[in-house]
Chains A and B, each alone.
Chain A
Amino acid sequence: MNLEKKTMGEKVQEQRSADRGKTIEVNDLYVTYNVRKKRKKAKNQAGDEECVHAVNGVTMDIRTGEILAVVGESGCGKTTLGKAILNIIRSSSGTIKYHGQDLSKLSGSQIQSLRQKMQLIFQDPYESLDPRQSVYKALEEPLDIHRKDMSPEQKKERIYKYLEAVGLHPAETMAQRYPHHLSGGQRQRLSIAATMILEPDFVVADEPVSMLDVSIRAEILKLMLDLQKGTDLTYMFITHDLSLAWLIADRIAVFYLGKLVEIGQADDVVHRCMHPYSQALVSVIPKIREEADEDKGHVLRGETPSPMSIPSGCCFHTRCWLYQEKGCPEVCRQKEPALVTVGGDHQAACHFAGPEEKGGDLHG
């Protein structure tokens, strides 16, 4: 599949073959937390235990070399999913495979050595660095933990190499500084360096630019893309900003209340979206350079239900404009929609989404 991306005004054609293999395969993953009140598991009136259903039956793949954007609002489970894949949070059921290896079947030391290959970039550049560690120490630490085979000279070389690579130069000077000497953008670069220094092939980036000023974001994103060039590095890019996801990602996965509701190529999901939630998300993106329509598209009423009490059937039906339009059909209340292929790579979990050839009901 050809994807055209113009970088900095230049036209750069990148050919990504659809099949370089799959780095991550998630199958029917559930992550549920129990809420304990007063040392006893909280029971609601019906006598069931109260749980937070953070991730509910997610099945998806992350392809080698791609950037998959995971988009959704707070409470949709996107961060929990990322952490579960990296084995930072324990999943309740389902499987996660890394290059075909089932992670649950690995021993503790095997998982430990795998950590080199699977890393996380945090959102907050001010909180994700130890204020008492110098830049040098912050970068040395990952090597101390995983690469005990490296000599101090080798470590120093690599540290300087990555400082330069993320644009923190001159390396010798920067290495002596402490986080509070660095700006937000510089701290995020340091975070990225600390992640990349182990040369992982799968990185979950949890809202890496949302706490940075708008004018700084581009350079951080460009850095992330540059680091990916010529390697098999795969990103799972978590964000609430759909327009940013559209810009930077190959594919976008939209989440709602712990469920995958739509997934496909970025252009498809944004410009030809099939799920009513995705449509709502797209419709509230402001039109900067054009006149806004008087009819504001689909601004959903109410708020996202709590992950402790997920609606029956299709979890979205309580706020779904299509459900209203169609006269509240029972199937939406009773039956959970499965992911349906609507065309090529594009899938949506809605009873009314269908293959594009059939002319899906949503775009009339």
Chain B
Amino acid sequence: MNMLEIKDLSVHFKSRAGTVHAVEGVNLWLEKGELLGVAGESGCGKTTTTLAIPGLLPQNAFIPRGQILFNGEDLVKKTEKEMEKVRWKQISVIFQGAMNALNPLQTVGKQMIEPILLHEPHVSKKEAEERVKELLEQVGIEKNRFTNYPHEFSGGMRQRVMIAMSLVCDPELVIADEPVTALDVMIQAQILELLKKLVKKYSLSMIMISHDLSVLCELCDKIAIMYAGRVVEYGYAREVFTHPKHPYTVKLLHSLPDIYGEKVFINGIPGYPPSLITPPAGCPFCERCTERIPECGSRVPELVDLGGGHYAACCRQTEGRAVV
């Protein structure tokens, strides 16, 4: 059984301009111990989808249909009180922009002890402190910085603190929302190395969100590409990167310069993503797609199994007229 299964999930937002169909009919799954990368550009719904898992959506969001099965239990149906037990103990989050996620008025140590004391009341404060200090060491921060305030850390160090904080209750699943955006390339590499080490050490399952495909390519086992609120491609990372099956993925990969390849000028994708308030009738990528067939404008393609754990949502694929 998959540890996490998202079935036909839709997340809509109420806004003054209308209902925003941020996420539409998303299917994703994750086995225990796997690292899933969710990639896409701004507005594609990757953050909304993944933050729906621990139930951290904003007030004006609602889930009209779909299931999020975590170890067999549907999280969508759980009450807020029930979700409080799940959060951090079973599913934790590494937030984007650590400076905004940390309380500037409390020491880092105090903030890290809090979830332990909340979820495991039988643990004494001293024990919790020891655990936290151990974790700080694991992420490369000296134990005595337990009493420092967030502003006393540099950007890269703060992100390490965020990572340590997410592991404090020994969760099964960690969601990392753009964990290395806005960091220097060298610090990025350090943090990614750290994540790799921690995933192995603590047998974690992880979902990593990024708009930067190159960040995901070396770390993730599986990858899901999202566009306009839908998953358009899903499969083993190596496969998807070397043999992409969806025209959007193909174009996205061509937008990245590759120093190990030929010096070919990158291609962009002309046009804009469709409106999420009035989504188009057919495939969301149809308007910008150079491979479209007449059917693309009227039918929304489903994610179809192309063999070897590789899925794509493209009309051409299902018609047997493969793009690539």
Q: How far is the CA of A7 from the CA of B262 in the complex (A)?
A: 12
Q: Find residues 239-283 in chain A having any chain B CB closer than 8 Å to their own CB.
A: 240-244, 246-247, 267, 270-271, 280-282
Which residues of the other chain, B, contact A284 by a CB distance below 8 angstroms? Answer: 185-186, 188-189
**Inter-subunit contact B41/A240 (CB<8 Å):** no
Structural contact, B262 and A6, CB atoms closer than 8 A:
yes
Nearest-neighbour CB distance to chain A for B210, whole angstroms, equals: 11
Task: Indicate if the CB atoms of B238 and A296 lie closer than 8 Å.
Answer: no
Chain A residue at minimum C-beta to C-beta distance from B182: A74
Would A282 and B252 be within 8 Å (CB), given that A218-B268, A296-B193 are in contact?
no
Identify the closest chain B residue to A293 (Cβ).
Answer: B218
A8, B267: Cβ atoms closer than 8 Å: yes
Contact of A290 among B42, B215, B251, B260 (CB under 8 A): B260
Q: Are A289 and B263 in contact (CB under 8 A)?
A: no
**Is the Cβ of A281 less than 8 Å from the Cβ of B263?**
no
B192 → chain A, closest Cβ, in Å? Answer: 9
Q: Does B114 contact A (CB under 8 A)?
A: no
- State how many residues of chain A have any CB contact under 8 Å with chain B: 46
CA distance A219 to B272 in the complex (A): 13
Contact among A217, A270, A289 with B242 in the assembled complex (CB-CB below 8 Å): A289
Asked if A281 and B215 make an inter-chain contact with CB atoms under 8 angstroms apart, the answer reads: no
Any B CB within 8 A of the CB of A285: yes
Q: Which of A13-21, A118-126, A156-164, A208-216 contacts B (4 or more CB under 8 A)?
A: A208-216
Note all chain B residues with C-beta closer than 8 A to A216.
Answer: 268-269
Bound complex: CA of A282 vs CA of B270, how far in Å? 30
Q: Is the pair A218, B267 in contact by a Cβ cutoff of 8 Å? A: yes
* Interface 0/1 of B178-196, CB less than 8 Å to A: 0000001111111001000
Is the pair B265, A8 in contact by a Cβ cutoff of 8 Å? Answer: yes
Give chain B residues whose Cβ lies under 8 Å from the Cβ of A215: 41, 251-252, 255, 268-269
Please tell me which one of the listed residues B214, B241, B257 contacts residue A247 in the complex, with CB atoms under 8 A apart.
B257
| Residues of B in contact, count (CB < 8 Å) | 43
A76 to B: closest C-beta gap in Å: 9
Q: Which residues of the other chain, A, contact B214 by a CB distance below 8 angstroms? A: 285-286, 288
Interface set, chain A 181-225, CB cutoff 8 A to B: 183, 213-219, 221-222
Asked whether B266 is an interface residue with its Cβ less than 8 Å from the other chain, the reply is yes
Q: In the assembled complex, which residues on chain B have CB atoms less than 8 Å from the CB atom of A9?
A: 264
- Taking a contact as CB atoms closer than 8 A, the residue among B41, B42, B263 that contacts A6 in the complex is B263
B268→A243 contact, CB < 8 A: no
Asked if B211 CB lies within 8 Å of chain A CBs, one says yes
Partner of A73 from B184, B212, B215, B255 at Cβ < 8 Å: B184
Give B37-66 as 1s and 0s: 1 = Cβ < 8 Å from A's Cβ atoms.
000011000000000000000000000000
Given contacts A213-B42, A215-B252, A292-B218, 8 further A-B contacts (CB under 8 A): A214-B213, A218-B255, A218-B268, A219-B268, A241-B185, A247-B263, A285-B214, A304-B184
State the A residues within 8 Å of B (CB).
Answer: 4-9, 73-74, 183, 213-219, 221-222, 240-244, 246-247, 267, 270-271, 280-282, 284-292, 296, 299-301, 303-304
